């Protein structure tokens, strides 16, 4: 601790490590992918940002950068975001080569700048997969996921009005497993992290959360077949079981769902309906 802060020293010592003693601003060297439109050639543009607060979220840091760019007459960097609380899955960014950054089970919007070093160089790229074409700068089109959901997404049988909750018994184990699978926010980090750009983790989460519940039994077979067919059409790669998706997933979706998806698929192929 430097002696010029003597007056605060006693106070800091009293409040343990003095983490809040001094909010030093951070300097960053950012290399950001800029691409005008889907067909344009993109490139990295370097920005130096000098007074980043460690308490900012990653997206707030980009907001600050954009304000400067706009003030200077430049075009703001396009990036996707919505809830900023880790539940919508919009904030698709690759930070230093890792989708949603290096923190485990954390979305980009939930990362704070204090997790970076002062003076650090940060590469910010869009998710890269042919099935997720770049729209502009850091924004990619994840419509492929929507089309997969649409392919298997609703039940054509008349469901009537909502039944009494207790009329439909769901075993706790199934409820837990279904809930874990349903935690998927459709962010696409699994595709971005997979060296094959495979969408198996996402599709397996969606197929699993319905297949595990009694409500999902109707059209269970046709659903998995249609979703897998759509997934293949979209140009995702094939799963080679390397589990990078699981490690990158901000919601901790397990690759055991992929085994279940394969099981459901084989089961559906073997069945007659």
Partner 1 sequence: MSVTGLLLIGFLVVHLAGNLQLFSDDTGEHFNAYAEKLKSFGPLLYVAEFGLIALFVAHLALGLRVTFENRAARSQRYALDRDRGARSFASSTMVVTGVIVLVFVIVHLLDFRLREMAPDGLAAMVVRRLSEPAGALIYIVGVGALGIHLSHAFRSAMQTLGLNNTRYDVPIARAGKALAIVLGVGFAIFPLVYFSGAKGSTHSASVRAAEPGATEDVYFLGKGGASLRGFEFRGVGAIEPSHLDDVGDPRSIGREEQR
Q: Which of ligand SF4, ligand FES, ligand HEM, none sits in contact with 15, Cβ below 5 to 8 A by type?
A: none
- Applying the rule CB under 6 A, the residues between 80 and 109 that interact with ligand SF4 are 89
Least distance (Å) between residue 224 CB and partner 1: 11
Q: Is 104 in the site for ligand HEM (CB under 6 A)?
A: no
Q: How many CA atoms lie within 13 A of 73 on its CB side?
A: 0
- Applying the rule CB under 6 A, the residues between 64 and 103 that interact with ligand FES are 81-84, 86-91
Shorter beta-carbon distance to ligand SF4: residue 49 or 202 = 202
Pick the binder of ligand HEM from 104, 215, 217, 241 (CB under 6 A): 241
Q: Is 96 in the site for partner 1 (CB under 8 A)?
A: yes
Residue with tokens 């067919």: 229
DSSP 8-state assignment for residue 163:
P
The answer to whether 203 and 148 are in contact (CB under 8 A) is yes
Q: Give Cβ neighbours of residue 93 (< 8 Å, ≥ 6 apart).
A: 58, 79, 99, 100, 101, 108, 124, 125, 126, 127, 138
Q: Which of ligand HEM, ligand FES, partner 1, none sits in contact with 84, Cβ below 5 to 8 A by type?
A: ligand FES
Pick the binder of ligand HEM from 25, 121, 130, 240 (CB under 6 A): 240
Classify each residue of 213-239 as buried b or exposed e, where b means 16 or more C-beta atoms within 10 Å of its C-beta: beebeebbbebbbbbbebbeebebbeb
Question: Applying CB under 8 A, which part among 21-29, 66-74, 97-105, 161-169 lies near partner 1?
Answer: 97-105
- ∠ at Cα 187 (63, 248), nearest 5°? 100
Q: Is 65 in the site for partner 1 (CB under 8 A)?
A: no
Q: Is 252 in the site for ligand FES (CB under 6 A)?
A: no
Task: Tell me the C-alpha distance between 69 and 47, whole Å.
Answer: 10
Q: Is 142 in the site for partner 1 (CB under 8 A)?
A: no
What one-character-per-residue DSSP string does 120-159 give? Answer: -EEEEE---BTTB-EEETTEE--HHHHHHHHHH----S--
Q: Is 201 in the site for ligand SF4 (CB under 6 A)?
A: yes
Task: Tell me the C-alpha distance between 47 and 121, whole Å.
Answer: 10
Least distance (Å) between residue 196 CB and ligand HEM: 9
- Residues composing the chain: 273
Q: Is 197 in the site for partner 1 (CB under 8 A)?
A: yes
The answer to whether 23 and 8 are in contact (CB under 8 A) is no
Contact residues: partner 1, CB under 8 A:
31, 33, 44, 94, 96-98, 102, 104, 115, 117, 123, 125, 128-131, 134, 193, 195-198, 235-244, 246-248, 254-256, 258-266
Contact residues: ligand HEM, CB under 6 A:
240-241
């Amino acid at each position: 601790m430097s002696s010029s802060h003597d007056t605060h020293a006693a106070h800091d010592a009293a409040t343990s490590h003095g983490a809040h003693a001094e909010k030093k601003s951070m300097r960053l060297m950012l290399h950001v992918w800029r691409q005008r439109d889907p067909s344009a050639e993109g490139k990295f543009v370097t920005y130096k940002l000098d007074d980043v607060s460690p308490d900012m979220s990653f997206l707030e840091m980009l907001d600050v950068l954009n304000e400067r760019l706009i003030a200077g007459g430049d075009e703001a960097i396009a990036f996707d975001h919505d809830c900023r609380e880790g539940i919508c899955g919009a904030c698709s960014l690759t930070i230093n080569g890792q989708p949603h950054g290096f923190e485990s089970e954390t979305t980009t919007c939930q990362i704070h700048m204090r997790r970076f070093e002062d003076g650090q160089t940060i590469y910010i790229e869009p998710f890269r997969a042919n099935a997720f074409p770049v729209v502009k700068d850091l924004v990619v089109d994840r419509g492929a996921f929507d089309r997969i959901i649409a392919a298997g997404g609703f039940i054509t049988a008349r469901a009537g009005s909502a039944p009494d909750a207790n009329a439909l018994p769901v075993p706790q184990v199934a409820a837990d497993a279904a809930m874990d699978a349903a935690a998927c926010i459709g962010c696409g980090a699994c595709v971005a992290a997979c060296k094959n750009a495979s969408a198996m983790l996402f599709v397996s989460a969606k197929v699993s959360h319905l297949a595990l519940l009694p409500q999902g039994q109707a059209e269970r077979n046709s659903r998995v077949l249609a979703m897998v067919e759509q997934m293949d059409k979209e140009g995702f790669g094939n799963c080679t079981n390397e589990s990078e998706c699981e490690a990158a997933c901000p919601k901790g979706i397990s690759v055991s769902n992929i085994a279940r998806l394969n099981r459901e698929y084989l089961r559906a192929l073997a069945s007659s309906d």
